[in-house]
Structure 1
Amino acid sequence: MSISSSRPSSAISSSSASDTRHFRDALSQFATGVTIITTRLDNGTFIGLTASSFNSVSLDPPLVLWSLNQAANSLPVFTGNSHYVINVLSASQTELANKFARPGKNRFDGVEFTLSPTGLPILKDVAAWFECHNRSRYPEGDHVIFVGEVENCDVCPQEPLVFHGGRFLSSKP
C-alpha cells in the first residue's frame, strides 16, 4: 500500500523558528475539543485556563489527561493542588474560551458556575465536566502532562466547541 500527498513532505528540525511554525501549522490541522480547567488557590480564589490538550487515557481506572506549558504562571497551582475540574465547552461558549485564554486578573467575573463535590468551579452550560484527582504529572518538552483520575463527571449532550486551524469553530451562527 502506498500513501501519497499532493505536496512533498518536509523534514522538521527544531533548530529554527520557521520549522517550529511549520510544525504548529501541521498540528493545527487536527481538530480538537476545547476545555477550561478550573481549580482553587489556597486563599479560595478560583483560577482557570483554556486548554485544547484534553484526552481520555483509561476506562478502568477512569483516567484523562491534559497538558500545560511549563512557563504558565498557573503551573505551580495545578501541580500542587489535589483536584481540578475539566469543563468541556459547548458550541455556544466561544466567548468564554477566549476569556479564559487571555491573561486577566479574575477570569471568573460575570461567569456562572456551580461547585463540584470538592468545591471547584463547574461552568454553566458545558457539554460535560470531569472532576479529577491530580494523580500524576510528567514533564515533557516545554509542557507538563497531567493525568487525572476521574472521581465525578456529568454530561449534557450538545454540540461541542472545536479548535481547528488556529481558531474556534462550531456549526452554530
Structure 2
Amino acid sequence: MNSEAAAPRFDPLDLRKALGQFPQGVVAIAAEVQENPEVLVASSFTVGVSLEPALVTVAVQHTSATWPKLRDEATHLGVSVIGREQCHVARQLASKDRAGRFEGVGRSVDGDGAIVLEGSPLWFKTRIFSQFTAGDHDIAVLEILDLGFDEDAQGLVFHQSQFKELNPLL
C-alpha cells in the first residue's frame, strides 16, 4: 500500500460538491465534560462497521475544537441519529454559539456522562475503541455498549449541503 498521495486532478471545492451528492445521516455525538455538555454534529458517520464487536465510525476534522474534549475527557459518548423532526436541533447543536447549543434541547445524561437526544430515531452509548489519522480527519472507531431505537421515527439526511427528509418513492 502506497502512503504517498498523488496530486489530485480536480479542485478541492469540486470534490466537496461531488461528495455532497451522497446523502448521509446526521448524528450528534455528545457527553458531559467537566459537568458541561459538549456536542459534535457529524454527517461522516458509518454504521455496520462490525457486529462482533459492535462498532461504528465517525470522521472528525482536525480543526474541530470539540472532538479533543470528547476524546480526551469523556469516558463514554452518546451518539444520537438526528430525526426528521429534529432539523432545527441539528442546526442549533452545530452552531458556533457554544453557550446556547443545548438550550431547550431535550436530552438525557447517563451515569457515565453520555448524552442522548430525546426523540432520536436511534441512539447508541459508545466508548472509543480506536482512532487513526486519515488525511485532514481523524477516524474514530466507537464500540457500541447500549442502544435504543424507534422504528416509527423518520430520519434526516444531509445532501447537497442541506438537511433533507427521507420520503418513500412508492
Identity %, equivalent residues: 29
2:150 to 153, 156, 164: 156
Q: 1:165 aligned to 2:156?
A: no
Q: Distance in 2 between matches of 1:22 and 1:13?
A: 15
1:19-98 equivalences under 5 Å are 19-41=11-33, 43-56=34-47, 57-80=49-72, 81-98=74-91
Mean Cα displacement is larger for which, 78-87 or 56-65? 78-87
2:118 is aligned to: 124
| SS of alignment partner, residue 90 of structure 2 | helix
**Structure 2 gap ranges (5+):** 1-5
| Equivalent residues of 1:137, 1:147 under 8 A apart | yes
Q: Distance in 1 between matches of 2:51 and 2:124?
A: 13
| SS of alignment partner, residue 110 of structure 1 | coil
| Equivalent residues of 1:87, 1:130 under 8 A apart | yes
2:93 is aligned to: 100
Deviations 1:62-90 (A, max 9, x none): 00000111111112212213221110011
**Larger CA Rg, structure 1 vs 2:** 1
Which structure carries more strand by proportion? 2
| TM, length-normalised to structure 1 | 0.85
> RMSD value over aligned CA atoms?
1.8
| TM, length-normalised to structure 2 | 0.86
> Shift in Å at residue 116 of structure 1?
3.0
Q: Distance in 1 between matches of 2:130 and 2:136?
A: 17
| Equivalent residues of 1:13, 1:19 under 8 A apart | no
> Shift in Å at residue 171 of structure 1?
5.0
Taking a change above 3 Å as real, the CA distance of residues 30 and 171 of structure 1, as seen in their structure-2 partners, is: closer
